[in-house]
Chains A and B, each alone.
Chain A
Amino acid sequence: MPKLKQQDLNRMIENAVSYKQESVKDDSSSFMARCKNLFSRPKAYFLTAASFIVLLTVISPISTSRSMADVNQIYDFITLEIIEDL
């Protein structure tokens, strides 16, 4: 096994400790940290999946009905309303 000379290793160690250590802020109370914490938990996968399915079932009929709505029907409806107003 290749070895380092003890004095070289000591020099490297002293060089390393001459640097400043990172300061780690305790951000466990911040909103983002709490969100991250919540979604990193396995049980949260179920919640995420469930909310995704709910979103899909609610949003897709709305968007489908919007895109499927006949433009002519809307015009007819508006025309009717105008006639009624007259």
Chain B
Amino acid sequence: MTEDLNYYMQKTKEGDKDSFRFLATSLGNKMFATASKLMGSNYEHEAEDAVQISLIKLWQTAPRWKNKGSVEGFVYRIIFSTCMDLHRRHKLSVELKDQDTATKTNLQNDLINLELREILLMTIKKLPDQQQLAILLHYFSGYSQKEVSTLLNKSEKATESLIIRARKKLKNLLPLNLREELSNA
């Protein structure tokens, strides 16, 4: 499957629209699932926006793709950065709304939720490249450890320890109050 995707990505790079259609159809639902997890379950509409923006970015930046890593890795990085941007924009709009209208409590909860989520995403971004990708693919895109190991071109054991190290690092990097918040959730 991964090799197939690499072939279609190569064709997409050369401007072949049908190959892009195949790629997008194969990965579309996983992209949406990842975006939903990254954005939060209350933001299905934003997750759809994230997929749309990511597909445009994927098509536009395809000529820059180098056949070194997996296509999935490339795609989920795009999804991740798009969701980060959308988060920032959404948070800003909630903050502005807060100043305009007085539907306080809901908006405040919304804002706290968004802030916690943003801290989590920012912390993931601070992880080393491979650890970041492993966490993203395993926890947000729902790939099994075995699939992640294939995508990262590593052994299963190495992938397992990579994920464990990433989780440990993530735990240390997260602010204490968020760690408590997450453990209570």
Contacts and interface: CB of A to CB of B under 8 A. Distances in A.
A2 B64 contact: no
Contacts of B52: 12, 15-16
Interface stretch (A20-28, A36-44, A52-60, A68-76): A20-28
Overall SS of chain B's interface: helix
A20 B17 CA distance: 11
B61 A22 contact: yes
Nearest to A1: B33
A49 interface: no
B36 A21 contact: no
Contacts of A12: 24, 28, 48, 51-52, 55
Contact of B20 (A1, A3, A10, A13): A13
Contacts of A2: 32-33, 36, 44, 47
A13 B142 contact: no
Given A13-B20, A13-B21, A22 B60 contact: yes
Interface in B11-59: 15, 17, 20-21, 24-25, 28-29, 32-33, 36, 44, 47-48, 51-52, 55-56, 58-59
A41 B162 CA distance: 26
A40 B25 CA distance: 36
Nearest to A12: B52
A83 to B, nearest CB: 70
Contacts, number: 67
B69 interface: no
Nearest to A3: B29
Nearest to A13: B24
Nearest to A11: B52
A21 to B, nearest CB: 6
A13 B25 contact: yes
A35 interface: no
5 contacts: A2-B47, A8-B48, A15-B55, A17-B20, A22-B63
Q: Identify the 7 closest CB pairs spanning chains A and B, nearest first.
A: A16-B55, A24-B63, A9-B28, A16-B59, A13-B24, A16-B56, A4-B32
A12 B62 CA distance: 17
